[in-house]
Amino acid sequence: MSEQKNPATAANAQTANVKKQHQSHKKSSKSKLQVSLKTPKGTKDWADKDMVIREAIFSTLSSIFKRHGGVTIDTPVFELREILAGKYGEDSKLIYNLEDQGGELTSLRYDLTVPFARFVAMNNIEKIKRYHIAKVYRRDQPAMTKGRMREFYQCDFDIAGNYDPMVPDSECLSILVEGLTKLGIHDFKIKLNHRKILDGIFQIAGVKDEDVRKISSAVDKLDKSPWEVVRKEITVEKNQTEETADKIGEYVKLNGTLEEVYDILSKDESISSNEKAKQGLEEIAILISYVKAFGIERFISFDLSLARGLDYYTGLIYEAVTSASAPPKDAAELKEKAKKNVKKGETADEEDVSAYVGVGSIVAGGRYDNLVNMFSEASGKKSAQIPCVGVSFGVERIFSLVKQRQELAANIRSTSTQVFIMAFGGGKDWNGYLPERMQIAKKLWNAGIETEYLYKAKANPRKQFDAAEKSGCPLAVILGKEEYLQGKLRVKRLGPEFAHDDGEVIPIDDVVKVVSEKLSQVHEDGVDEIQKLLQGLR
């Protein structure tokens, strides 16, 4: 026979259980509040002036992309893992893999190039000029002050389709130069190489086809490490002979203008007798005339040490570097010092490597002729070969260079406000003219003029001027109690130099016209502070 429970006892037990659950929930709630208020490693919040500068960089680049016929697309921030697998060589270890969600294995995108190739293959596109501005993700060691992050924006422009050799390639190089010069960066160099020439050199040196990509990744480190270190990696870690390494060394140390290096290679019998290298050299000959036509040859250095470790490149490869790109000369010593400090507990941010790395390349790109077809074939689609070439701007790295123009950056305002509407008056019947200020604001907003007013019915004059000063806007529209009743407003310039200027009294109906005229006079030569910053103007 089962035991009969006392109803009162059961009720008490239930009440006790509810209390216990409530206390447990309170403890759980408290524990949830105990979080570290920081962004994840390699990321940062963007706000105020930094956002204004970054948005201006986006706007500058996107206007250039549109000028060259680009149409914009957007793709998911994560892709099927199989789409990204095997496309990035040794850098594949930097891909962020996501948890299994309902049977699909996905990863955060590493760049915008592979998703673009998937998009072209999936939609059977034969020709397109596209640009894409979006975030990408890499589990790299961050150097925050150098713009090397785990979450960052890329601004890409790519041309897909069959065209005459080197025509789209030269236009991508022109876009690279246009983009950097429009952002006030002039002291840069485009390091350029050709994957076919590089692969030919490896064949000449005796590298087996299956080892070409890993040797290419080793050579790609020459911008950070001396030849002796790279040679050791080729022979010891990559199992190549010393003769092979020395033969590679003879070539990868060559650099100069396009014509200078072309002349040297065209006279080299080993190069001319290698089918791959010969094809690459023929394309360089065509490219020389095109970059001259665009007037950009002075920016280009033909550098055989450039390898670009990504597996999908098939032809021309290039990257733009500045004096800030390379690591400090004493990088090895700084790295050891940082490690010792970490052991001693002397540094709070041992995860950041800014002290001993450079900014790296600020723009990069190249030709990838097989990627679209690879996706099409893998999916069982019948597709013609769709060659592609593109260029990618690293926004955070460019931002770190622009931000170094500290004197100009200090003048940037975090708001775009151009006009602050104020109301002055007094007496028992004074209501603050708040609806009237709203009406004037609406007129200016409809005219596309950035306008603000204080969210207070009866606003103190001093507080209104303080708010206007905080926003940094150059102009005030003032509703005086008596003047407004007569159908008039006062328009006044703001700033210390205009403290004793009472402004101009105008009819209310003329407010848009007069404000527009005065704003056109505010910026010297029509150039505002953000444009001065981007262009490096004093």
CATH of residue 342: 3.30.930.10
Evaluate if residue 140 carries a pLDDT over 90.
no
Evaluate if residue 502 carries a pLDDT over 50.
yes
- Residue 3's pLDDT band (boundaries 50, 70, 90)? very low
Determine if residue 312 is labeled as part of a ligand binding site: yes
If you average pLDDT over residues 499-523, what whole number do you get? 91
Same domain, 358 and 503: no
Q: Compute the half-sphere exposure of residue 124: CA atoms within 13 Å on the CB side of its CA.
A: 4
What one-letter code names the amino acid at 254?
L
Q: Which of 194-208, 310-324, 330-344 is the least confident region?
A: 330-344
- Residue 526's pLDDT band (boundaries 50, 70, 90)? low
Same domain, 263 and 310: yes
Same domain, 183 and 213: yes
pLDDT at 335: 65
The first and second tokens of residue 292, run together, are 């001259």
Q: Are 133 and 158 in contact (CB under 8 A)?
A: no
Determine if residue 113 is labeled as part of a ligand binding site: yes
The reply to whether 178 falls in a domain is yes
Determine if residue 88 is labeled as part of a ligand binding site: no
Same domain, 316 and 350: yes
pLDDT at 377: 86
The reply to whether 387 falls in a domain is yes
pLDDT at 2: 43
If you average pLDDT over residues 333-342, what whole number do you get? 64
pLDDT at 383: 65
3-state secondary structure of 247: helix
Instruction: List the helix and strand counts (H, then E) for the chain.
Output: 21, 16
201 vs 347, more confident: 201
Determine if residue 418 is labeled as part of a ligand binding site: no
Determine if residue 222 is labeled as part of a ligand binding site: no
Domain interval for residue 186: 48-404
Same domain, 337 and 296: yes
Same domain, 158 and 257: yes
Q: Are 52 and 530 in contact (CB under 8 A)?
A: yes
The reply to whether 152 falls in a domain is yes
Residue in the structure block whose two tokens are 């622009």: 402
Determine if residue 158 is labeled as part of a ligand binding site: yes
pLDDT at 71: 97
Strand order in 388-394's β-sheet? 71-72, 128-137, 151-160, 388-394, 363-367, 316-321, 189-194, 300-303, 255-256
Evaluate if residue 349 carries a pLDDT over 60.
no
476 vs 356, more confident: 476
Number of domains in the chain: 2
Beta bridge partners of 319: 191, 364
Evaluate if residue 339 carries a pLDDT over 80.
no
Determine if residue 308 is labeled as part of a ligand binding site: yes
Q: Are 113 and 99 in contact (CB under 8 A)?
A: no
The reply to whether 25 falls in a domain is no
The reply to whether 232 falls in a domain is yes
34 vs 342, more confident: 34
For residue 170, the surrounding DSSP H or E stretch is helix 167-182
Determine if residue 313 is labeled as part of a ligand binding site: yes
Same domain, 394 and 438: no
Domain boundary among 404, 430, 446: 404
Same domain, 87 and 133: yes
Same domain, 464 and 377: no
Evaluate if residue 515 carries a pLDDT over 80.
yes
The first and second tokens of residue 354, run together, are 């800014």
What one-letter code names the amino acid at 211?
D
Domain boundary among 345, 375, 404: 404
C-alpha separations of 536 from 135, 180, 282, 365, 406 in Å: 26, 12, 39, 25, 10
3-state secondary structure of 122: helix
The reply to whether 478 falls in a domain is yes
85 vs 168, more confident: 168
- Residue 7's pLDDT band (boundaries 50, 70, 90)? very low
Same domain, 230 and 129: yes
390 vs 410, more confident: 390
pLDDT at 14: 53
Same domain, 386 and 522: no
Evaluate if residue 150 carries a pLDDT over 80.
yes
pLDDT at 26: 53
d(CA 173, CA 365): 9
Question: Tens digits of per-residue pLDDT, 234-293?
Answer: 999 999 999 999 999 999 999 999 999 999 999 999 999 999 999 999 999 999 999 999
Mean pLDDT of the chain: 87
Task: Categorise residue 48: left if φ over 0, alpha if ψ from -120 to 50, beta otherwise.
Answer: left
Q: Are 504 and 490 in contact (CB under 8 A)?
A: yes
pLDDT at 13: 54
Determine if residue 153 is labeled as part of a ligand binding site: no
Evaluate if residue 355 carries a pLDDT over 70.
no
| Other CB atoms within 10 A of residue 122 CB | 14
Question: Tens digits of per-residue pLDDT, 446-485?
Answer: 999 999 999 999 989 999 999 999 988 999 999 999 999 9
Q: Are 490 and 483 in contact (CB under 8 A)?
A: yes
If you average pLDDT over residues 72-88, what whole number do you get? 93
15 vs 378, more confident: 378
pLDDT at 135: 96
Same domain, 381 and 469: no
pLDDT at 246: 93
CATH classification at residue 424: 3.40.50.800
The reply to whether 410 falls in a domain is no
pLDDT at 17: 59
pLDDT at 6: 52
Evaluate if residue 214 carries a pLDDT over 70.
yes
